[in-house]
Amino acid sequence: MRTSLSVLTLLAATGPWLSGADMRLGIIGTDTSHVVAFTRVLNDPANPDHISGFRVVAAVKGGSMDIPSSKSRVEEYAGELRDKWKVEILSEISALAGKVDAILLENVDGRTHLANARQAFLLHKPMFIDKPLASTLEDARQIEKLAAEAKVAWFSASSLRFGELVASVRMPEMVGVTVWGPGPIEEHHALDLSWYGVHPVEMLYALMGPGCETVTRTAGGTDASGTDVINCKWKDGRVGSVRVLRPNGGYGAISFGPKDVKQGRTDVPPFSYVLLLKQITKFFETGVLPVSNAETLETIAFMDAAQRSKQAGGAPTKLR
């Protein structure tokens, strides 16, 4: 993928980056296991998956007090970062200034991303925003706007996008894709897919690319248990579907070509933090976006349309 002119412009504002020394990374949000998994790979040269040239040096706790799975993990993960990996724990995002060269925005709660990104963009550091980019389409668009105004390069993605499962069903020509994965609902998120259903949605886009026009969501079961199916049509006539399983379930994918059908491999892990980190660090090093910002925004628009279709009793709904 070539670096776009807009990204080159942003690089001029946020670079050049360090050479001959580790790039210093700062974390925002210690309420997800990602922060520990990422730091282990980056900070431990003895780790078999170690990625050299980058080091997590500082973190800001964050967390959402109205989500038990966030509230209960903030201190635990912050403590491990501090005690085991010698990461400096800071009280404010602004304190990252001068201490880091790039930022990992990791809060598990997408509702917090706009407010935290707003502060982080003022530091003018390239940034990875963990899934989901935001919990609403309006927030996602505002993040894009603020980043452009601050001339900060960013990207966002799920680790499922780069996993071996998705790679195992790729074909030179695909006319359709079916993917599935867990989609438990968190009551505070207006777009219910943004909490966990974002993973199979990202798988769909990793295979189909942008260009979805219409979605139709059939809701089955209850919020606590059931299966929803989102059928979707692309502008070029291709079709896809996403099945979300509640309260949990495995991941899978099938791709359809003009003559062939390819089933996703079951003997490979569906996601890999290491493969995601390789994309993140390459972005920090080169400025090349592994996923365009436009495509990321479309995934949020997809979930927004799916929510509106659900509220309309399964009516076909166009992306905004």
pLDDT digits (tens, 9 = 90+) for 76-129: 999 999 999 999 999 999 999 999 999 999 999 999 999 999 999 999 999 999
pTM: 0.92
In the predicted model, what is the mean pLDDT of residues 36-65?
96
Would the pLDDT of 3 be above 70? no
Residue type, position 42, single letter: L
Over the chain, what is the mean pLDDT? 93
Q: Domains in the chain, start-ordered, CATH in brackets?
A: 5-157 (3.40.50.720), 160-271+302-318 (3.30.360.10)
Q: 43 Cβ partners below 8 Å, 6+ apart?
A: 55, 56, 85, 87
Would the pLDDT of 10 be above 80? no
pLDDT at 17: 43
- Lowest mean pLDDT: which of 3-17, 46-60, 151-165, 222-236? 3-17
Tokens 């933090």 locate to 273
pLDDT at 21: 79
pLDDT at 223: 85
Distance of alpha carbon 131 from alpha carbon 48, whole angstroms: 26
In the predicted model, what is the mean pLDDT of residues 234-243?
98
Angle at 85 between CA 282 and CA 286, to 5 degrees: 10
Contact status, residue 55 vs residue 38, Cβ threshold 8 Å: no
Distance of alpha carbon 255 from alpha carbon 173, whole angstroms: 10
In the predicted model, what is the mean pLDDT of residues 274-301?
97
Distance of alpha carbon 106 from alpha carbon 87, whole angstroms: 15
Chain-centroid distance of CA 131 in Å reads 3
Contact status, residue 246 vs residue 226, Cβ threshold 8 Å: yes
Instruction: Please write the tens of the pLDDT for every residue from 197-216.
Output: 999 999 999 999 999 999 99
Number of Cβ atoms within 10 Å of the Cβ of 318: 12
**In the Cβ-directed half-sphere of 32, how many Cα atoms lie within 13 Å?**
20
pLDDT at 20: 46
- Lowest mean pLDDT: which of 15-29, 152-166, 288-302? 15-29
Rg (CA), the chain: 19
Tokens 């099938």 locate to 254
Q: 231 Cβ partners below 8 Å, 6+ apart?
A: 215, 216, 217, 218, 239, 240, 241
In the predicted model, what is the mean pLDDT of residues 143-161?
98
pLDDT at 265: 93
Tokens 């359809």 locate to 256
